[in-house]
Amino acid sequence: QGRGGAPVPALPAPAFFLPSQTGWLGVHLRMTGQLLWVNRSEPLPKHARVRLFLEGNQELRFVDQRTFGQMWYVPPETEVSSVVTGLKLLGPEPFSAEFSVAYFAQKLHRRARPIKTALLDQSLVAGLGNIYADETLFVAGVLPTALCADLTIEQIERIHSAIVQVLDKAIDSGGTTFSNFLSVQGVNGNYGGVAWVYNRKGQPCRTCGTPIERIKLAGRSTHYCPVCQI
């Protein structure tokens, strides 16, 4: 059985038809997971893990080379967070009304940790990963090593605004591809070509020309401009 009690037939390539009634499908791509929307006649990739057969000969495939990804079907009568339990640990979505400047400032108040580390905390704000945290702090003009407790309200407002601005741009660009990421149409994300700082160590800042620097914070590569970010 699949998570949430949905039966999964024992087919050579794992596959199932979703029930006709409404429900929820949860997917965590992890490191190498991909969701691909294709015609059913498309050749099956080597690392296809799940096939969802839909109307019109269409198919949604979950492809995952390293098998770290997860998938859940949650029936309509079941509370989603009771099955996809990680949802209970997430902070508000960046585009939601709950993610206000007041909320953001209150969460950062008196925290003696670098702002870059805080932005990666999914209980603070959901969905902001390493790439977009670096980009956010460049747009906001704030050093990644700045302590949360030392930030002014003006800096917090700039960071809050930059989160939404950067994610808007990333969505318009189809995400970022440096290794495995593909859109559901199988297309690479284009944000990497316009990134301000991420993965650009030693290259000139797009604003001032100073070489981009890279350090490690909490074990994560962190890119910034030593002139534009203070």
Confidence band (pLDDT; 50, 70, 90) for 159?
Answer: very high
For residue 149, give the amino acid letter: A
Q: Which of 226, 34, 54, 62 is nearest to 137 (CA)?
A: 226
Highest mean pLDDT of the ranges 10-14, 27-31, 146-150: 146-150
- pLDDT of 179 over the 80 cut: no
Please indicate whether residue 151 or residue 33 has the higher confidence score (pLDDT).
151
Please indicate whether residue 216 or residue 34 has the higher confidence score (pLDDT).
216
- pLDDT of 182 over the 70 cut: no
Give the integer Cα–Cα distance in Å for 160 and 50. Answer: 37
Pull the structure tokens for residue 100. 């206000």
Query: What number is the average pLDDT over the span 65-75?
Result: 84
What is the number of alpha carbons within 13 Å of residue 31 lying toward its C-beta? Answer: 4
Give the integer Cα–Cα distance in Å for 175 and 191. Answer: 6
Give the tens place of pLDDT for each residue, 98-125. Answer: 999 999 999 999 889 999 999 999 999 9
* CA distances from residue 98 to 62, 94, 101, 109, 125 in whole angstroms, order as listed: 31, 8, 9, 17, 10
The domains of the chain, with CATH numbers, are 3-87 (3.20.190.10), 101-224 (1.10.8.50)
| Whole-number average pLDDT of the chain | 83
CB-based contact 73:25 (threshold 8 Å): yes
